[in-house]
Amino acid sequence: MAQLPWLLQSWQELHKIPVNPFLSLLFIFSFLYVLKRILRSAKSNLPPSPPKLPIIGNLHQLGTLPHRSFRSLSKKYGPVMLLHLGHAPSLVVSSADMAREVMKTHDITFSNRPRTTAANILLYGCTDIGFASYGEYWRQARKICVLELLSLRRVQSFQYVREEEVILLTSRIRESCLKQTSVNLSEMFFTTSNNIVSRCTLGQKFEGGDGKSRFAQLARRVMVLLTAFCVRDFFPSLGWIDVLTGLIPSLKALVREIDPFLDQVIEEHKIMRGDDHDQPNKKAFVDILLQLQEEGKLDYEFTQDNLKAILLDMFVGASETSSTIMEWLMAELIKNPNIMKRAQEEARRVVGNKLKIDENDIDQMVYLKCIIKETLRLHPALPFLIPRETSARVKFGSYDIPSETRVYVNVWAIQRDPKIWERPEEFLPERFIDNPIDFKGQDFEFLPFGGGRRGCPGLAFGLASVEYVIANMLCWFDWRLPTASVKGQDLDMGEVYGLTVGRKIPLHLVPTLHSP
């Protein structure tokens, strides 16, 4: 009771201080907002999470191969796990059932993309297909690509490009057969994939005197920088560090090279537009986009920067994924000579005495298709796809997932899940014989191209190149490692992480021309 007079005096003194009504309201609303966030957090049922360090959270637990790190953590914390990567809350999904929740049950909520610094700079404000935010622009851009650029009819129309580039590839390999020297199949597959995509996308290869494509070299730099560690993406207030490390200057310098190059290509195709009416089935993607724009058939007003973003997106995505798949496939066949022999026998039986493989031949190579599926299962080019982001708060299974949470579906882990796949670490193409499981995004235990709205629209385009190139490799040549004493099972299968997960060591093999 002795303190009562002091309290009354303090209250009276407090009321003598003039108070700004606006500041009072601001204080009240701020207090209520903070209280609401605290109460919501208390009620939220978040997924399990590994212990985190101050500031960096769980970043130190990723390692050099994040898909493997994610799987190791998920074995301890479960198939739905929340990581704190700097300031970015990240949901990691490692089971087929929960992947179905992401790509089917809650597909719209999980269809957004986090806007990374590199993608924003290199892809014209993320106005491509892969990194664009979910919304009307993305829907219209994807619709154009699916219907006009990547339809089955359009993919078939580019068969002549695949045939011509594979002829050049097999000719180079035949020269090595005569010399009895090894070839760098990794580099050859990359060059061939780039040439096919460049001709289909931009109408030509842009080869220099050394036989290398200038645009392919630019695209490879795009692939490297898209996955470079960017401080701003995890610590927004520390973005200035990316300037000091040289990342931002490197991104802007690359844009200064790519932008005028694409402008020149588009301008040249605008000038030549009147000369291609006699070959409507041989138009490059850039010609098709310009025609749609000229005829007013686009439902959305696409600027030149939008067109450049879409062209660059398709080039980077299609060339790298295709060559990576082919590289892993041939490596697995070298490690498994009995499977290689069976595939070669099938290809040679189907082709017979013909001098060239055609599309109908590919349709009959059932075992080859199983080999491709098994390669995609063990070595998906994008092991956890491009990250998604929640556009709203969502109930996910029994958990509450906040808005703007990044989402990684670990396809690599799902496709090696022993609960789904028998002997999951072994290369067994026979598992797909008479097996209805496909990679078109409806079977959530097998998602090398993703699923739902953000599934890869270029599936048919990339697959056509892989099937045709590999069929020729198996039909016309026999293969061995450079050193006869080294066995296939000793082949280094180490991985290197980038936009795709490729082989750490390039694949060098010695070809021998097949003699019937």
Q: CA–CA distance from 21 to each of 29, 174, 510 (Å)?
A: 12, 85, 83
CA–CA–CA angle 339, 340, 341 (5° rounding): 90
Q: pLDDT per position in the chain (516 positions), as tens?
A: 443 343 334 334 434 445 455 544 545 544 444 444 444 444 579 999 999 999 999 999 988 999 999 999 999 999 999 999 999 999 999 999 999 999 999 999 999 999 999 999 999 999 999 999 999 999 999 998 888 888 989 999 999 999 999 999 999 999 999 988 999 999 999 999 999 999 999 998 887 666 677 788 888 888 889 889 999 999 999 999 999 999 999 999 999 999 999 999 999 998 887 655 555 567 899 999 898 888 777 777 889 999 999 999 888 888 888 999 999 999 999 999 999 999 999 999 999 999 999 989 999 999 999 999 999 999 998 888 789 999 999 999 899 999 999 999 999 999 999 999 999 999 999 999 999 999 888 899 999 999 999 999 888 999 999 999 999 999 999 999 997 545 555 789 999 888 789 899 999 999 999 987
**pLDDT score at 102:** 96
Alpha carbons 108 and 453: distance in angstroms, whole number: 8
Class of residue 490 by CB neighbours under 10 A (exposed 0-12, middle 13-18, buried 19+): exposed
Residues forming a β-bridge with 502:
496
Q: Which of 504, 506, 505, 497 is nearest to 224 (CA)?
A: 497
- Tally the residues of the chain: 516
Single-letter code of the amino acid located at 5: P
Euclidean distance between the first and the last CA atom of the chain, given in angstroms as a whole number: 109
**pLDDT score at 165:** 96
451 phi, psi to nearest 5 deg = -160, 175
Cβ neighbours of residue 196 closer than 8 Å, sequence gap 6 or more: 158, 161, 162, 165, 319, 322, 465
- Return the half-sphere exposure (C-beta side, CA atoms, 13 A cut-off) of residue 128: 24
Alpha carbons 378 and 355: distance in angstroms, whole number: 33
> Cβ(490)–Cβ(58) under 8 Å?
no
Superfamily per CATH, domain 44-513: Cytochrome P450 (1.10.630.10)
| The pairing of beta strand 501-503 with beta strand 495-497 | antiparallel
DSSP, residue by residue, 44-70: --PPP----BTTTBTGGGS-S-HHHHH
Alpha carbons 26 and 499: distance in angstroms, whole number: 46
CA–CA–CA angle 330, 333, 337 (5° rounding): 145
Q: Which of 355, 415, 338 is nearest to 380 (CA)?
A: 415
Task: Kindly tell me the sign of the dihedral angle through the C-alpha atoms of 178, 183, 185, 189.
Answer: negative
Q: CA–CA distance from 33 to each of 28, 298, 403 (Å)?
A: 9, 44, 16
DSSP, residue by residue, 237-304: GGTHHHHHHTHHHHHHHHHHHHHHHHHHHHHHHHHGGGG-TT-GGG--HHHHHHHHHHTT--SS---H
**pLDDT score at 485:** 45
126 labeled binding residue? no
Class of residue 441 by CB neighbours under 10 A (exposed 0-12, middle 13-18, buried 19+): buried
**pLDDT score at 237:** 93
Alpha carbons 76 and 72: distance in angstroms, whole number: 7
**pLDDT score at 66:** 93
